[in-house]
Amino acid sequence: MELTVKKIVFTPAVMLALFVAAIGIRPVCFFWFYQPAPPVKSE
Amino acid sequence: MNINQLAVGTANYLSKELALDTSKIDTLRFGLEIIFAALIKGITLVTLAHLLGILPEVMFAMACGAVYRLLSGGAHCNGYWRCLTLGVVMYLGAGELGVFLKRYLSTDFLVYSLLAGYFLSLLCVMAWVPGEVPFKKITNISERIKFKILSLIYLSLWLGVSIIVVHYASPSLAIAGLAAVINQTISFSPPGYKTIHQIDRLLAGLFKERRCPANGADC
């Protein structure tokens, strides 16, 4: 039961983070002065 | 705890809870780092701008500078808290400048200033865009030309919108937007890189941060 609740809560957060990661590597840079290190295996 | 450590910890926790493939952890960390960075910066900037009574100016400056930065690149700080400090100071400064200067600048003078800023930025875009960034080197000629063209199109749109804003909204918004665009133009020019790296080094003494890899046991 607890596992199902966690899955329901965490899955959208994970999907959003993966979506942001997928689009985040396309522009030249981000609009602030911090550039996170891109994922090693994605590029 | 720095933002990188926070993202690594959250990515490890989520991947364990959802039994994710370990190869996805670093991609998840990257996405979370972007989300956390945007949330913290957005909340800090909006709160401070609201408290100072310059929220519309700061939001307009942010809208003008942010898209331009996505397309043109530029200098970066090495740590998030230094980035946050510099970014917040720059955008709040642009907003304050807009409110302060609107009493002294006539509409005609402001339009000429916007045109001067536009042509100066145009020349800088043709010379230096895309500015080098730490994790993305664009060496392909067609890619470089694409970002130059996109930046030029964006600058033309910004000029048009700013002139409309001067006449039909508030001049303080246009001044704040001009300051943000000039700041961004400086940030991808060679003197801008030197200046921002000097500020970064100066702030490094105040905020000591380090990056750690995903699954990093020592973080």
Per-residue confidence (pLDDT) for residue A23, from 0 to 100: 78
Q: Global pTM?
A: 0.80
- How do residues A17-43 score in pLDDT, each as one tens digit? 888 888 766 666 666 667 777 777 544
Residue ranges of chain B whose pLDDT lies below 70: 1, 206-219
Looking at residue B8, the DSSP 8-state letter turns out to be H
Residue B5 class from Cβ within 10 Å (0-12 exposed, 13-18 middle, 19+ buried)? middle
Is B202 in a helix, a strand, or coil? Answer: helix
Domain-wise residue ranges, chain A: 1-33
B80-101 vs B55-72: helix axis angle to the nearest 10?
Answer: 130
Per-residue confidence (pLDDT) for residue B219, from 0 to 100: 38
pLDDT exceeds 70 at position A13: yes
Minimal CA separation from B102 to chain A, in Å: 26
Per-residue confidence (pLDDT) for residue B76, from 0 to 100: 80
| Nearest neighbour of A41 by CB, restricted to B26, B130, B133 | B26
Question: Taking the alpha carbons of A24, A19, B29, A9 in that order, is the dihedral positive or negative?
Answer: positive
Per-residue confidence (pLDDT) for residue B215, from 0 to 100: 46
Per-residue confidence (pLDDT) for residue B57, from 0 to 100: 94
| Nearest neighbour of B87 by CB, restricted to A11, A17, A32 | A32
Record: contact B136-A34, CB cut-off 8 A = no
ipTM: 0.75
Per-residue confidence (pLDDT) for residue B186, from 0 to 100: 92
Whole-number Cα distances in Å, A23 to A17, B27, B219: 10, 11, 27
- How do residues A1-12 score in pLDDT, each as one tens digit? 566 777 788 888
Per-residue confidence (pLDDT) for residue A39, from 0 to 100: 79
